[in-house]
Structure 1
Amino acid sequence: MKQFHGPDRVATMLDNDLIRADTPGCARDDESVTVFLDSAGSSLPPRIVTDTVIAHLLRESQVGGYRAATERLDDRARVRTEIAALINAAPSTLALSDSASRSWADFFYSVPLSAGDRILISGSDYASNAIAALQRARATGASVEPIPSDSSGQIDLEALRAMVDERVKLVSLLHVPTNGGLINPAREATQIAHSVGALVLLDACQSIGQISIDVTELGVDALSATGRKWLRGPRGTGFLYLRRELAESLEPTRLDLHGARWSGPDRYQLAEDATRFEFWEHDVAARLGLGAAVRYLLDLGPQNVFDAIAERAAHLRAALPKLPRVTVRDIGTRHSGIVSFTVDGVEPMAVRERLAEQGITVTVSHASSTLLDMTDRGLPAVVRASPHCFVSYPELDRFVAAVAAL
C-alpha cells in the first residue's frame, strides 16, 4: 500500500501497478490497451480467477467432473465462508447460485402471498424484479406499488413510512440502480418496512464488491448478488443471503436432492440451512472462480478497493460536466462507482460505438431496464461508465478527452 497526499486529504491507495499486472485486460500502460469502464456490466477478472476456472476444467477433462469436484470439497466450502466474511454473515445463511437474478427470484417466489397483500418495489427497481413482482401479483391477487423517490432521486423514506401497513408483505429494495450512481438508504428503509412486519429483499447486484455491505447492520431479510460485476468473478455465479431464521424455515418453491432429503415414500426433509435454496448440479469451476475473486478482494482490503472505485467515479463526475453538451445524469445524495451521462446531439448507442472504435469500453442503460425512473426523468437511455480500481487515471483522462472529441 502507498499513501496519496492531495491538497485536502491523505488517503490510502492500492498498488495500481500490481493490480494491473494481475489483470490481463490492462497489464500494459499504453493506448493499445482498452480503457475498460464496464464493471457494472461484467468486469475484468484478475488472473487468479481465470487460472482457477481453467485449472478445474482441465482437471475435469483428466478425471471427470465428479472426482474433480470431490477433490475440491474444502475449497468449495471456503467459497461460502469467504463471502460470509465479506458481508458479515454466517456461512449457513448463504446459498450459491448462477446469478443475482436467480437468487432474487428464488427468495421472492418462496414468500407466501395472498389476495390483498401488497408488494412494494423501489422507484428505480430493475426490470427483472418488477416483472417478477407483477407476475406474482397476477397469480396471487396481491398488488405491486412503487415507492416514490424524493427530490434527490433516492427512496423517499417519509413516503415509504406513510405507505406501509400490515398488508405490506414484501419490500423489494434496490441498493444501487443499474442506470446511475445513486445509493439508496437501505438500512433506514428496512427499519420502516420491519415496523409493520414486512420482509425486505435487497438487490445488491450493483453494490456487492464496490461498497461496504454488512447484512447485520443493514438488517435485511434477504440479499441477492452476482459474481461477474464489481466482485470480478466469472459469469454464471451469484449468491443469496437469508436471515438465519428464514434460512432455517422458509421453503423454496423448487427442491432437489441437495436442498432436501427424501426421507420416506411420501416425505422429504429440508436442508437445515440456506443450502435448501441450492441445486445439486452447478458449475464447479465457476464457483471456485468466484471464491478466488472474493479472496482477491479480501486480500486487497475491501475498503481500499471501495475507496479507489469511489475516487475514480468522483474524478469522472468532476470532469464530464466541464465538457460542452455533456450532462451527468446521476442523482441521489450518496454516489457509487456508476457514472451515467448523455451527450447532446449524439445518441447513447452512438456514443458507445464511437468510443469503442477508440478502444474505450462503456455501455448503455435503456429505459426498459429501469422503466419507472427513466420515464419519470424523460430519459430513453444513458451512457454508463463504471471504473474499477484497476483503471488508471491516465485512462480516465483518455476517456474524458474522447468524450470531449464527440
Structure 2
Amino acid sequence: MTFSANELARLRADTPACSEVLHFNNAGAGLMPQPVCDAVFQHLALERDIGGYEAEASARGAIEHMYEAFAQLLHADASEIAYVENATRAWDMAFYALPLKQGDRILTHTSEYASNYLAFLQLARSRGLEIDVAPSDASGQIDVDALRSLITPKTRVIAITHVPTQGGLVNPAAEVGKVAREHGLTYLLDACQSVGQMDVNVREIGCHILSGTGRKFLRGPRGTGFLYVSNQIVDQLEPPFIDLHAATWINEDTYELSPGAKRFENWESYVAGRIGLARAVDYALDIGLAEIGTRVESLGARLRATLSDIGATVHDQGMRKCGIVTFSLANKQAREIAALLKAQGCNVSVSEPSSARLDLGRRSLPPVLRASVHYYNTEEEVDRFGRIVSKIA
C-alpha cells in the first residue's frame, strides 16, 4: 500500500459513492472527486447567474490553467496541449491531419482500439493507404522486434494504444518510441486508459501525438478530452476541419492556422468541463502519478490473484499489467454475470470482441468481464468482490 491510512481516508471522503457500491466499472468512470465536482458546479452556477460569455471571461485564468496543468502532467510544453471534447475526437483530429497519401503504410498492433482501426480502414479505402499489423510477443504485448521488421520505405506512421480497453495490458510505449525515432516515423499513441493511472511522460515515450479523456482514470467530467501534439511536427499538420478559433481569416482568400496544438480546438467548448478537467489534473498531481501507478498496479495484481484463486479465468496479457482486469467464469455469460454483480452492488463492464477484433477475436474469446480498480479502492473491497464472484461461480 503506497498511501497512509489517513491519506486513503481523505481520498475516499472526496468520493462518497465508493463506500456505497463497489465501483470497478471503467476505472471508476463517473466517480469524480468532490473538488472536481465543485469546480464544475461553481462555473455552471456562474453561467446561470451572469450568462455563458460573462462567466467564461471571468474564469479566463482557470481556463488557461488547463494547458499548464496538462503540460506538467505529460511533461510537455503548454503550447503542445489542446482541449478536445473527447478522446476519440482528439485522436481523430490528429490522425486525419497527417499528410498521408496513396501507398503510404500505417503500422499498428493487434490490441488497437476499434474506433482507431476503423479510421485506418476508412483512409485505406479513400486514400489507398496500407495497414500493417505487428504481432504480439509471448507475453501478449506488442513484439517490438517484429514491429521493426515490418517497417518499409513506405511506412509513415506507428499508431498504437498504450493500454487497450479490453484488458490490463500495458504496451511498451517507450520501446516503440525508440523504433519510431530510429526510422524517422511519426508516432501516435492512444493514452485514453493510461493517463491518470500511471506516470505518462511524452518525452521519455517519444510520441509525437497523444490523445486521452478526462472521464476515466483522471476522474474528470465526461465530455472532456485532450490532445498533445509535439512542436516538432505540429506545423506539418493541417486539421481536417477548422473554425475561427483554429485559424485566423487573413483576407478573403487566405487563412493562417493557430500556432501550436490549439489549431485542433474549436471555438465552442464545455467551459465548466474544461475547468473541472484542469482541477482533476491538479488533484492527480497533488497525489503523485508515481504513487497512483504503484497503488493501482498493486490492487490490480491483488484482484487477478483473488479471481484466479476462486477459479475464474483471467485474460490479461503483457509483461506489465495495470488496473484493468478482465476475466470470465466457466459456463456463464459475461452479461449475465454483470447483471448478477450489479444486483450485489458491484459495478463492472463487459468487453465485446467487436471492439477488439484483432485481439479478443483472434484469441477466440467471448465477451469478457472488465473490473477496473483505482487508488481509492481498498484491499478489503477487492477481497469482498472476490467473495461475491465466488458465490456466483
Q: TM-score, normalised by structure 2?
A: 0.97
Show the counterpart of 1:130: 117
Provide the aligned C-alpha RMSD in A. 1.3
Deviation at 1:367, TM superposition (A): 0.4
Deviation at 1:187, TM superposition (A): 1.2
Show the counterpart of 1:24: 16
Kept after mapping to 2: 8 A contact 1:164/1:193:
no
Structure 1 residue 258 and structure 2 residue 245: aligned?
A: yes
Show the counterpart of 1:356: 342
Write out aligned runs for 1:6-25 (5 A).
Answer: 11=2, 13=4, 15-25=7-17
Show the counterpart of 1:373: 359
Kept after mapping to 2: 8 A contact 1:252/1:277:
yes
Write out aligned runs for 1:181-196 (5 A).
Answer: 181-196=168-183
Deviation at 1:247, TM superposition (A): 2.6
Give me the whole-angstrom Cα distance separating, in 1, the residues matched to 2:235 and 2:226. Answer: 17
One of 371, 382, 392 as aligned partner of 1:385: 371
Unaligned runs of 5+ in 1: 5-10
Show the counterpart of 1:404: 390
Structure number having the greater helix percentage: 2
Give me the whole-angstrom Cα distance separating, in 2, the residues matched to 1:203 and 1:194. Answer: 18
Structure 1 residue 104 and structure 2 residue 91: aligned?
A: yes
One of 225, 230, 240 as aligned partner of 2:212: 225
One of 292, 303, 324 as aligned partner of 1:305: 292
Give me the whole-angstrom Cα distance separating, in 2, the residues matched to 1:169 and 1:248. Answer: 17
One of 319, 327, 340 as aligned partner of 2:313: 327
Counterpart code for 1:391: N
Q: Sequence identity of aligned pairs in percent? A: 42
- Residues 128-166 of structure 1 show CA distances to partners (whole Å, capped at 9, x for unaligned) of 000001001111011112111111110011111110022
One of 334, 338, 347 as aligned partner of 2:333: 347
Give me the whole-angstrom Cα distance separating, in 2, the residues matched to 1:149 and 1:13. Answer: 38
**3-state DSSP class of the match of 2:233?**
helix
Counterpart code for 2:185: A
Show the counterpart of 1:120: 107
Deviation at 1:332, TM superposition (A): 0.8
Show the counterpart of 1:278: 265
Kept after mapping to 1: 8 A contact 2:328/2:369:
yes
**3-state DSSP class of the match of 2:354?**
coil
Counterpart code for 2:306: A
Deviation at 1:52, TM superposition (A): 1.1
Deviation at 1:403, TM superposition (A): 0.4
Counterpart code for 2:179: I
Show the counterpart of 2:132: 145
Counterpart code for 2:288: G
Give me the whole-angstrom Cα distance separating, in 1, the residues matched to 2:27 and 2:284. Answer: 16
**3-state DSSP class of the match of 2:112?**
coil
Show the counterpart of 2:52: 65
- Residues 217-237 of structure 1 show CA distances to partners (whole Å, capped at 9, x for unaligned) of 111110001100000000111
Show the counterpart of 2:234: 247
- Residues 41-90 of structure 1 show CA distances to partners (whole Å, capped at 9, x for unaligned) of 72411011111111111110111100000001111010110111011000
Give me the whole-angstrom Cα distance separating, in 1, the residues matched to 2:352 and 2:189. Answer: 22
Counterpart code for 2:323: G
Show the counterpart of 2:305: 318
**3-state DSSP class of the match of 2:355?**
coil
Moved more, 342-351 or 387-396: 387-396
Q: How many residues align?
A: 391
Kept after mapping to 2: 8 A contact 1:166/1:196:
no
Show the counterpart of 1:7: none
**3-state DSSP class of the match of 1:263?**
strand
Moved more, 200-209 or 299-308: 299-308
Deviation at 1:13, TM superposition (A): 4.5
Give me the whole-angstrom Cα distance separating, in 2, the residues matched to 1:304 and 1:153. Answer: 26
